[in-house]
Amino acid sequence: MRNVILRLLITALALKGADYLLPNFNLHGGWVHLFWFTVVIGLLNWLVKPILVFFSIPFLIITVGLFYFVINALMLYFASLAVPNTLTATNGGILIASIVVTFLHWLLAVVFRINKQENSGD
């Protein structure tokens, strides 16, 4: 459970970092809206993303994995539809933000040593 909460916090920090770094990716509504946006992204990544990845395997092979950023951008777009008035961004802004969020999420996960799978001993 601790791992899930840390991953949500890291995702929120990565989203806020993309908000500060990119001019055409703007999050609105403060920390409460960011929290719900992060929860929706977590649910979409858990439920919808594996299906999208499975059906886009040919594109992932052709683009040597770069299509994964498009899938992440779709997750951001779907989350913006699910939590209205939280995100204002262009399509290009969402695509660039997916790259920035992916990098920041990876960087923060390395810094805080978050594993993909939760240890049963914690």
pLDDT (tens place) for every residue of the chain, 122 residues total: 788 889 999 999 999 999 999 999 999 988 999 999 999 999 999 999 999 999 999 999 999 999 999 999 999 999 999 999 888 999 999 999 999 999 999 999 888 877 666 555 54
Q: Which residues pair with 26 in a beta bridge?
A: 88
How far, in Å, CA of 68 to CA of 26, rounded? 22
Secondary structure of residue 97 in the 3-state scheme: helix
The angle, 0 to 180 degrees and rounded to 10, between the axes of the packed helices 67-82 and 91-111 is 100
The confidence score (pLDDT) of residue 116 equals: 64
